[in-house]
Amino acid sequence: RRGKQRVKRERGKPVEELFASFDDAPLAAASLAQVHRARLHSGDEVVVKVQRENLRQLFDVDLFNIRLVASLADRLDPQTEALASNWRGVAETSGDVLYREIDFRIEQHAATEFRANFAKDKTIKVPAMYPELCTSRLLTMEYCPGKKITDTEALQREGFDADHLAKTLTTSYLEQICRHGFFHCDPHPGNLAVDDGFPGGRLIYYDFGMMERVEVEVKRGFVDLIFSIYQNMPREACDALETMGVLRKGVDRFSIERIARNMLGSFQSTLASADNKWENEMTPEEKRESRRNRRAQLGQDLFATQAERPFLFPPKFTFVFRAFSTIDGIGKTLTGPRYDLSRISQPYLRELADLRDGSALKSAALELGRRVGWRPQDVAQLVTQPRAVAGVAQTVRKLEEGDLKLRVRTLEVERMIERVELRQRFIGAGVASALLLHISLGATLHRLAARVVQVIAARVAWECWNAWLALKKLTVQQLRFENEDTVYDTM
């Protein structure tokens, strides 16, 4: 009855005028809305999504608390693994998505765009919207029944192909990220179903309230990253990470490019031989040995990147990683341990890299030009070569005359200076807090003044504690990258 009352309040007409039939009992219910099955006077079967009341007020309170916790996390997060935290940004992005989710007009337009993106894909079904029966708190869409994607018994009973469904789910999400730039943020099993609209099963997407866009630059950077990975071009891979906003601009890239060169070499060797294993196929002992070998080659470079924290975590990537972890879980539910997200993605990503310039022929021609040196930038470099040589000669002359000074980075000295600074902070703060505490306990000091001094002593002691933790973390990191056994090797 409440559902009918809300429909009448939103549309200003009795439910009987809008629908030929309307089920009182909801077909499904969630925290934001409940869904009722109905039939239009035209005979079309639909479902009506009716929003619950007072959601915005609840969101205001919840998001205030989330932002507060995120601000504290940004201050207290240790920020290891060369990655700078941005919990406040994640909270703000999540808030934007949630507020859009309670405006059903936005969901209607999102569903229409999502349906258009997959209009030519026979393996994907997206419900059609009925705009004339939609408001900001009411959504009417095509009724698309199906079997829940994780109900393996029902899927097997209906004769659906689990491998086909796992591949369809994976490639459809890659299509959203890489080609459309408009993706579903919440592909959990409740928002996915299967019907018999395609041999082996057709995937149905539901609930388009949580959608996000990938900016054109980020999408282009991702395609360039995939291309550079398959072509084994570490410098171009770092350029692509900068374009995506994952790598800070202006940082010292020498160590980062060396790490990228090692990683891409390992990736190429794994592709080249079936005997080589991906890391997720290794035993725990093999993983530890692989990491030790990598640290033996790149220990100093890895330590340098830890100190600078050159990598960023764009807030929108939170939804992407969460979605892929959910998809990985669904894939393993469908096909068991033989599901491998990276292997299923590989042909798609290789095709994407081949088509990054619009067609495989054009990409091949540009790659040939790169290899033989016939690109426009190569020709321009040839033309400007005399000026470049003259510039180098001028620089050498200035060096000889003492007009230029070289700036040399010594990682060992950096480690030593950082350790000395932390020890100074630790000792200085410890001595100062002890001295202040001793003064506060003196008999000549007024009680109120003693309390003030004790508060200051506690603050200085907190600084001493933080310096000790930082010194301990630095020691563990140095041992780790010097290839000594640490707690990381037991993970």
Active-site amino acid positions:
186
- Residue 295 buriedness (CB in 10 A; 0-12 / 13-18 / 19+): buried
- Residue 109 buriedness (CB in 10 A; 0-12 / 13-18 / 19+): middle
DSSP assigned state of 204: E
Q: How far apart are CA 440 and CA 462, in angstroms?
A: 17
Element (H, E) at 109: helix 104-117
Residue by residue, DSSP assigns 303-335 as HHHHHH--B---TTHHHHHHHHHHHHHHHHHHH
**What φ, ψ does residue 195 adopt, rounded to 5°?**
-130, -175
Q: Are strands 147-148 and 211-213 parallel, antiparallel or unpaired?
A: unpaired
Element (H, E) at 38: strand 33-39
Residue by residue, DSSP assigns 228-286 as HHHTT-HHHHHHHHHHHTSB-TTS--HHHHHHHHHHHHHHHHHHH-TTS--GGGS-HHH
**Which residues neighbour 211 within 8 Å (Cβ) at sequence distance 6 or greater?**
100, 107, 110, 114, 182, 183, 184, 185
Q: How far apart are CA 489 and CA 491, in angstroms?
A: 6
Q: Are strands 202-205 and 124-125 parallel, antiparallel or unpaired?
A: parallel
- Torsion, Cα of 9, 13, 16, 17 (10° steps): -150
Q: How far apart are CA 255 and CA 241, in angstroms?
A: 15
**Which residues neighbour 102 within 8 Å (Cβ) at sequence distance 6 or greater?**
32, 51, 55, 56, 59, 137, 209
DSSP assigned state of 187: -
Element (H, E) at 183: strand 182-184
Burial letters for 185-198: b for 16+ Cβ neighbours within 10 Å, e otherwise? bbbbeebbbbbeeb
- Tokens read off for 309: 């924290």
- Tokens read off for 331: 């894939």
- Torsion, Cα of 68, 72, 75, 78 (10° steps): -130
SS3 289: helix
Q: How far apart are CA 123 and CA 131, in angstroms?
A: 25
CA distances from 356 to 84, 191, 224, 362, 468 (A): 30, 31, 8, 9, 50
